[in-house]
Amino acid sequence: MIKEKIDQAIEILNEKEIDLWLIFVRESHSLPDPSLELILGSHCTWQSALFIPAKGETTAIVGNLDAEAIKDTPYQNVIAYTASIRKPLLETMEKINPSKIAINFSLNDYMSDGLTHGMYMLLQDYFKDTPYIDRFVSSESIISAVRGRKSNTEIGRMKEAIDVTLNIFDKVTGHAKPGMSEKDVADFIRGEVEKHKISVSWDPSTCPSVFTGPDTAGAHYGPTGRLIKPGHIMNIDFGVKVKEYCSDLQRTWYFLKQGETDAPPEVHKAFNTVRDAIQLAADFLKPGVKGWEVDDVARKYIVSQGYEEYPHALGHQIGRAAHDGAGILCPIWERYGDLPYLKVEEGQVYTIEPRVTCEGYGVATIEEEVVVTKNGCEFISNPQKELFLIG
């Protein structure tokens, strides 16, 4: 997988007309650069430089104690140093002589912002008497493409994670009942995860998130002792990591009151509005459209049905992390910087996750995953088309 992503990065460097991608790190086990998991799969202790050029051989300059481990990676040249990285760093740069050098800083994408300020100052010091100090550019476009354009191998792993998640959701339908707390449901899910001997996709304190009834704490909050009651909507935000790749899905249930054989019309309307907004966004999603345009399709539809607009982005990329890659399906809000204007690319995998509040019952939300194809997109999660009912 590392070799596959390095080869992909070289193709992208040529596409973007950038001569070199330079990753500069130290003590990466404690403070990892997010790109390392893609193009190294290991950690470095001392100051270390990874050179991925558009032309020529890849090179890793690392401390002598790290060198043997790095030789097991796909880097063609591994240079070990003892006292200082300065000399091999400058010599390697002079050999490549790049006009544009992408380094890992970004104003918009945290996944592309792995170069610490201290390490940037060190680069400035090492290259202060060279022409290369004026050739640094952001690697955001490189990292966004490398993370975003999923290979068939990556998508296969993500589908495995999705299958496990959906299987656990099915078990929740048979297990959950009125009188249980949100924590009870979350503990059941965690038990199922342990049976599979895998991990969850994000912080276990909020994965899974379980919300029931009209007074929930909202997204990004952990399960509470709040009890499920008949007449409650319950939604769960949950994902697992399989072979280093994540899922991130949400499903919605309704608990029938005594004498009810179906959910009330207003609950069905809320659920159906979310479901249909997802389908409209998926129908619009294709390479070349901008993230804000996709979000706008779902947002306008939800408002047209009489609901307030959801207070977040419509969807995000997913892969090795639950929130993965620069591109995002989001509105033009200051908090998102330039991200709304990034164009969708083939091979990216996005979640689509609008929500609406159903007054008196709770929040209806669904989260699906789609992969962008040449002419549109395809669901890689089996979409929830009907509200789950629990008697």
- For the cut 90, the answer to whether the pLDDT of residue 216 exceeds it is no
Q: How far is CA 201 from CA 40, 162, 167, 220, 348, in A?
A: 21, 11, 16, 13, 18
- The answer to whether residues 229 and 354 belong to one domain is yes
Q: What is the pLDDT of residue 219?
A: 64
CATH number, residue 199: 3.90.230.10
Rounded to an integer, the average pLDDT of 126-141 is 96
- For the cut 90, the answer to whether the pLDDT of residue 222 exceeds it is no
- The answer to whether residues 133 and 234 belong to one domain is no
Amino acid identity for residue 158 in this structure: M
Q: How far is CA 156 from CA 150, 161, 247, 270, 380, in A?
A: 10, 9, 12, 33, 10
Q: What is the pLDDT of residue 278?
A: 98
- For the cut 70, the answer to whether the pLDDT of residue 4 exceeds it is yes
**d(C-alpha 266, C-alpha 78), whole Å:** 64
Amino acid identity for residue 131 in this structure: P
- The answer to whether residues 297 and 161 belong to one domain is yes
CATH number, residue 53: 3.40.350.10
**d(C-alpha 213, C-alpha 232), whole Å:** 4
Q: What is the pLDDT of residue 220?
A: 64
Helices (H), the chain: 2-16, 36-39, 67-70, 86-96, 117-126, 140-148, 152-175, 182-196, 265-284, 291-304
The residue out of 85, 116, 147 marking a domain boundary is 147
- For the cut 90, the answer to whether the pLDDT of residue 83 exceeds it is yes
- The answer to whether residues 169 and 302 belong to one domain is yes
- The answer to whether residues 72 and 161 belong to one domain is no
- The answer to whether residues 173 and 64 belong to one domain is no
Q: What confidence tens digit (pLDDT) does each residue in 325-383 have?
A: 778 999 999 999 899 999 999 999 999 999 999 999 999 999 999 999 999 999 999 99
Q: What is the pLDDT of residue 327?
A: 87
Q: What confidence tens digit (pLDDT) does each residue in 154-188 have?
A: 999 999 999 999 999 999 999 999 999 999 999 99
The residue out of 119, 147, 175 marking a domain boundary is 147
- The answer to whether residues 97 and 194 belong to one domain is no
**d(C-alpha 186, C-alpha 224), whole Å:** 9
Number of H helices, E strands in the chain: 10, 20
- The answer to whether residues 292 and 376 belong to one domain is yes
Tally of domains in the chain: 2
Q: What is the pLDDT of residue 122?
A: 96
- The answer to whether residues 184 and 115 belong to one domain is no
Rounded to an integer, the average pLDDT of 218-225 is 78
Q: What confidence tens digit (pLDDT) does each residue in 34-63 have?
A: 999 999 988 999 999 999 999 989 999 999
- Rounded to 10 degrees, what is the CA torsion of 117, 115, 19, 344? -120
Rounded to an integer, the average pLDDT of 234-243 is 96
Q: What confidence tens digit (pLDDT) does each residue in 310-320 have?
A: 999 999 999 99
The residue out of 117, 147, 177 marking a domain boundary is 147
- For the cut 90, the answer to whether the pLDDT of residue 1 exceeds it is no
Question: Which two three-digit tokens encode residue 228?
Answer: 């499920």
- The answer to whether residues 347 and 205 belong to one domain is yes
Considering Cα of 93, then 95, then 101, then 105, what sign does the dihedral take? negative
- The answer to whether residues 227 and 310 belong to one domain is yes
- The answer to whether residues 230 and 116 belong to one domain is no
Sequence-distant (≥ 6) Cβ neighbours of residue 123 within 8 angstroms: 24, 103, 115, 133, 136
- Does an H or E element contain 229, and which? none
Beta partners for residue 316, in sequence order: 328
- For the cut 80, the answer to whether the pLDDT of residue 217 exceeds it is no
**d(C-alpha 68, C-alpha 77), whole Å:** 12
Average pLDDT of the residues of the chain: 95
Domain hosting residue 103, numbered range: 2-147
- For the cut 90, the answer to whether the pLDDT of residue 276 exceeds it is yes
**d(C-alpha 339, C-alpha 292), whole Å:** 8
